[in-house]
Amino acid sequence: MNASLPPITGAGTGPASALHHVDSQLEASLERLFALLRIPSISTQLEHAPDCRRAAEWLRDDLQSLGFQASVRDTPGLPIVVAHDRSASAAVEGAPHVLFYGHYDVQPVDPLDLWTNPPFEPVLIDAPAVDGVTPDRWITARGASDDKGQVMTFLEALRAIRAADGSYPLRISILLEGEEESGGPSLRPFLEAHADELRADYALICDTDMLGDHTPAITTMLRGLVGEEIIITCADRDLHSGLYGNAARNPLHLLVEILASLRDAEGRVTLPGFYDDVAPLPPSVKASWERIGFSDAELLGPIGLSIPAGEAGDSALEQTWARPTCEINGITGGYGGEGFKTVLPGKASAKVSFRMVSGQNPEAVRDAFRAHVRSRIPADCSVAFRSHGCSRASSLPIDSASLRAALGALGEEWGTEAAVVGSGGSIPVVRDLQEALGMDSLLIGFARNDNRIHSPNEKYDLSSFHRGTRSWVRVLYALAAGAPEGTPTSV
């Protein structure tokens, strides 16, 4: 099974016994992952609520087999799994207490006819050959990458450490959510209600990507999000454009004028005060990203583009990881069906999103956007707003000892310097953990950008699962030991 994997580096060094166990028990680890993947724990579909509970109970039982005190906790929605290692050896003097977070729920599988294999019948297939060589194998199933495969890299690392040492080198608690794919409505109240039980020194989250196929990464910056829908009303009904054109206000004209005014010719957002709290990218971080050598063409080429948009002077990578943005996500109004209809619509609407960086206040951005729109509405027209979320950005201190230790451990496993990266997306649990528990998070994931999460034929590379498990072994030992002075990092 291992023949098609990239070569393992660092074998026989560091926590050698646990790493050997990972390698020798890979087939058994895959069997456990496949058992979890067979459970159709789709949180957005009520008929799968029993399956979600079944997945939670499966994970509880697995954690109990690893020596954890584990339980399934009821919420107003789907259950949450909580587990703690209470062994005496877990309270190693000076070692941190970590909280691992993951989720066991998955996205719906539609459209089903685009799946090569049934989504809840996991299979291991060869990746497409490159120059006649199969570079890897793929675990294909819904949830293989997001997030069951990622969660199981951590649990299998625990299994290997326990088999090798009989105990864990630091205190570990685990929280596995069942509503991440449906907005997570129960998580924040649960964190607040159980703060004393769940609070740790920091959290570990495995729900992010690597940087390319062979470069591990830790995500330290996540953008926040403001989602707004605006509905402009002019006439009290749709009108004949020949009888009323020019004389009656066209809400689509008004809407596109307002939307166009949100950016200037240099790509900057025009809302007053929008950039007031945006700090420049630290030179050390900017230099580390330049060392990555990820070009605009590498980001844009695979999607059929070549010319960066957005703010002039910033690379595509900087724009997606570290700069705030304003995007138009959809426009509705008038007639868009087959054929042609000379209608002058009475209403028009648009959905607009802003991605926030650390320091920005999403409520202030939302208010500035609404004021900007209202100031451009004529007296005989009206505008209404509908909010679709408002969350702050989050960032991890780049000088933390835990970050240095984890970077060093990842570098040992993959044989290359681990990268510190940002993410253009938003992971609400990171902010929830900061605000409810006062905890920062280390986001260490082994997914790849071609894993097709949320899409048909979702996959997780066998090398991601295998070396991700090995990586967690190294990271946990490294976090327990702490980062020695002078540990190299990419920041």
Domain boundary among 337, 366, 391: 391
403 touches 443 (CB < 8 A): no
Domain enclosing residue 344, as ranges: 224-278+324-391
- What's the number of domains the chain is made of? 2
Q: Residue 465 carries which DSSP code?
A: H
53 in a domain, yes or no? yes
Round to whole Å and give the CA distance between 458 and 142: 6
Domain boundary among 352, 371, 391: 391
Round to whole Å and give the CA distance between 439 and 191: 12
Same domain membership, residue 404 and residue 364? no
Tell me the torsion sign for CA atoms 160, 164, 165, 167.
positive
Same domain membership, residue 233 and residue 196? no
Same domain membership, residue 386 and residue 402? no
Q: What is the pLDDT along the chain (491 residues), one digit of tens a residue?
A: 443 444 444 443 459 999 999 999 999 999 999 999 999 999 999 999 999 999 999 999 999 999 999 999 999 999 999 999 977 555 567 789 999 999 999 999 999 999 999 999 999 999 998 878 888 999 999 999 999 999 999 999 999 999 999 999 999 999 999 999 998 999 999 999 999 999 999 999 999 999 888 899 999 888 888 999 999 999 999 999 999 999 999 999 999 999 999 999 999 999 999 999 998 888 877 887 787 777 888 888 878 888 888 888 888 888 888 899 999 999 999 988 999 999 999 999 999 999 999 889 999 999 999 999 999 999 999 999 999 888 888 887 777 899 999 999 999 999 999 988 888 777 889 989 999 999 999 999 999 989 999 999 999 999 999 999 999 999 999 999 985 544 444 44
Same domain membership, residue 217 and residue 191? yes
- Terminal Cα distance for the chain, rounded: 37
489 in a domain, yes or no? no
Tell me the torsion sign for CA atoms 108, 114, 119, 123.
negative
Same domain membership, residue 422 and residue 384? no
Domain boundary among 365, 391, 417: 391
466 touches 26 (CB < 8 A): yes
Q: Residue 311 carries which DSSP code?
A: S
Residue 80 falls in which region: left (phi positive, over 0), alpha (psi -120 to 50) or beta:
beta
155 touches 67 (CB < 8 A): no
Same domain membership, residue 365 and residue 354? yes
CATH of the domain at 260: 3.30.70.360
298 in a domain, yes or no? no
- Helix (H/G/I), strand (E/B), else coil: 212: coil
CATH of the domain at 116: 3.40.630.10
**Helix (H) or strand (E) run with residue 158 in it:** helix 148-165
pTM score, two decimals?
0.81
Same domain membership, residue 114 and residue 241? no
Same domain membership, residue 20 and residue 164? yes
Round to whole Å and give the CA distance between 485 and 33: 38
Same domain membership, residue 463 and residue 377? no
Same domain membership, residue 384 and residue 248? yes
